[in-house]
Chains A and B, each alone.
Chain A
Amino acid sequence: MSTAGTTSARYSWGGDEHLFVEMDEAMSLEAYFRSMAVVTALRERRPEGVIDICPANASYQVRFDPDVLAPDRLEALLREIEAQVGDATDFEFETRIVEIPVLYGDPWTHETLMRFRDRHQDPEATDLEYAARINGFDDVQGFIDAHSGAPWMASMVGFVAGLPFLYQMVSRDRQLEVPKYVRPRTDTPALTIGHGGCFGCIYSVRGAGGYQMFGITPTPIYDPRQELPDFKDFVCFFEPGDIVKFEPIDRERYDELRGEVEQGRISIRRKPVTFNLKQFTANPDAYNKRLLEILNSD
């Protein structure tokens, strides 16, 4: 595949059942929005033969059945939509802002990180201490304030079922960046708040992982048995495009919320919002403040 002269996206076939489109090599909200805008238009026009439409951070992928939808036709359609979308600065979409309570420096991720210290860049420090230091904070609290201060966008959901990749909605110079573990761990507690590169995440299930571990949330985000009220309609809580606010909590509140989980009545706090990139870019801090006001209004 060659890249077209008129557009900046790069198209490449993933075998005979996938078309992969990279909007940009680097992560930015602008690249993410162009990807979301194309995906949104494609969903509306969804031709027969499209199996899965997967938006990601700065790219997207369409899984299709080439017996029903000819590859050339799919590519032509995606290029047409891309041209219509342009730089997507006018794009806005209906989404929701959700509050995820976090017990930072919790005993479970602490126990896990101590077990895998030999795989870490800085075996003498915890993941939080390391992340605070290399991002130029005086102490862990300063890092937690930055991590929980501004909201994040779920720019991709996946790896395993329901796991959100989160990109913080701040300018690039304020992005928190940490490398992944030198060698991946074989274990990560479910509901760990992780971070690798510029992306945060919430591990939806227990398993292997390479992201630094900062804390844990008491609220499930994936429920394959669909027992909790938030999962009546679907097993995964997160959808690409969700906006997330981390809310620091103490151990007492954590235990209280776990009690609600066990009683089967916990529900993640969320409010519907419209997200507009142009307004956000004009003044991110003011825009984020408004989003948080909506979240906290009753």
Chain B
Amino acid sequence: MPTTNDCWRYSIPIKVIKPGLATSVQDLGRRGYYHVGVPPSGALDQFSLLAANLLVGNSSDAAALECAYMGPELHFTESTVVAATGADIELQINGQAQPAWTSVVVAPGDVVTFGYLKRGARMCLAVAGGIDVPEVLGSRSTYTLGALGGHEGRVLQAGDELAIGPVRGKVATRTVPLALRPDLPSELEIRVVMGLYDHLLTDLGRQTFLATSWTLTPVADRVGFRYKGAQLDMVEREQPFGAGSDPSNIVDAPYPIGSIQIPGAVEPIVLHRDAVSGGGYAMIATVISADMDAIAQSAPGSTTRFVAVDLYAALAARAERAERISRLRGHFG
């Protein structure tokens, strides 16, 4: 980290009073290290991260706090601007409700807390200047399994102190129009590209996978989201050498981000941005990139149907998402 002008670093503007359930520093994520098992990490809901950063006048690669299910309690010692996006959960300053998806001024001594989660699963709290932790392998994102990046490689704890990066210019109060905020449904339709090892499913197994309304279990974190709902019928075959004895076992292979594996042919797991990078469970489909934010906002108990689309539909959905992002950017000039 270059530290040519450190004067703003002497103060610690944010003190963590309560950490929340799983609060971590995240940015857009890192690239280029997945081949040695270091996943991209970064905010699971990338659209909400971008919106939060735009609201407080940050560049899109600034780091923010990602908070799952239950927000932290933070004490600010300096005046700044914050914005909360993502899940529907009330942002409060000194106990007073604040508008969502809107930049809000914080004064020295203010305490930021959150209400109860109403919809969605993860909120993103951006602070003008960005959360200033050292970049590790090109990103400030926390990868907790590897104790890498973020604040000491882990989720926040009570007593932690966070620095803020330098702010460029004055931040005006702004808001994200309702039309640009994501839906946070409790019944989801998630588009997937079938493939990888889906030939290990019988026709019945494939039909069951696409027809079942899957319920998200509480095993849903930055690594992966585990669902329950049905047993999938698999092809009987002689297992290839090195694959292991269960019909859902394969010779350990790389796992795409968003891939859906089916250990024991039951309870599919969607891998997210802290994915384990490879292993010996057959994957049968991959969530398209445009729907990964929606996975991030699905809460345990919500139901999901997986809808098969082809690569070209996935690319069209990706283009639509890019268009939505450019409208968001356009809104902020």
Residues 3-27 of A, flagged 1 when their CB comes within 8 A of B and 0 if not, give 0000000001111111010101111
- Of the candidates A13, A67, A159, A197, the one whose C-beta lies within 8 Å of that of B278 is A159
A25: chain B residues at CB < 8 Å are 240, 243, 250-251
**Would you give the 0/1 interface string for B125-153, flagging 1 where the beta carbon is closer than 8 Å to chain A?**
00000000000110000010111100001
Q: Which residues of A sit under 8 angstroms from B196, Cβ to Cβ? A: 12, 14, 20
Q: Which residues of A contact B259 (CB under 8 A)?
A: 14-15, 18
B33 contacts A by Cβ under 8 Å: yes
Q: Do the beta carbons of B311 and A224 come within 8 Å of each other? A: no
Indicate if the CB atoms of A197 and B34 lie closer than 8 Å: no
Contact A205 B256 (CB under 8 A): no
Q: Say which one of B67-75, B286-294, B296-304 lies at the interface with A.
A: B286-294
- A56: contacting residue among B33, B137, B143, B278, CB under 8 A: B278
Decide if A254 is an interface residue (CB 8 Å cutoff): no
A52:B33 contact, CB within 8 angstroms = yes
Contact with A along B244-261 (1 / 0, CB 8 A): 110001111110111100
Do A160 and B257 contact each other (CB < 8 Å), given the known contacts A180-B244, A224-B153? no
- Please indicate the chain A residues that have their CB under 8 angstroms from the CB of B38 in the complex: 161-162, 235-236
Q: Which of A22-58 contact B (CB under 8 A)?
A: 22, 24-28, 51-58
Interface of B is mostly: mixed
Which residues in A have their C-beta under 8 angstroms from that of B258? 14-15, 17
A59 interfacial by beta-carbon distance below 8 Å:
yes
Show 16 A/B contacts (Cβ-Cβ < 8 Å), sorted by A.
A14-B196, A14-B286, A15-B257, A17-B257, A17-B258, A18-B256, A18-B257, A25-B240, A28-B241, A51-B34, A52-B31, A158-B277, A160-B37, A163-B37, A235-B38, A235-B146
Task: Give the top 10 A-B pairs by smallest Cβ distance, nearest first.
Answer: A14-B256, A27-B242, A15-B286, A158-B37, A158-B277, A161-B146, A61-B254, A18-B256, A26-B240, A52-B34
Interface residues of B (CB under 8 A from A): 31-38, 136-137, 143, 145-148, 153, 192-193, 195-196, 240-245, 249-254, 256-259, 276-280, 283, 286-289, 311, 314-315, 318, 322
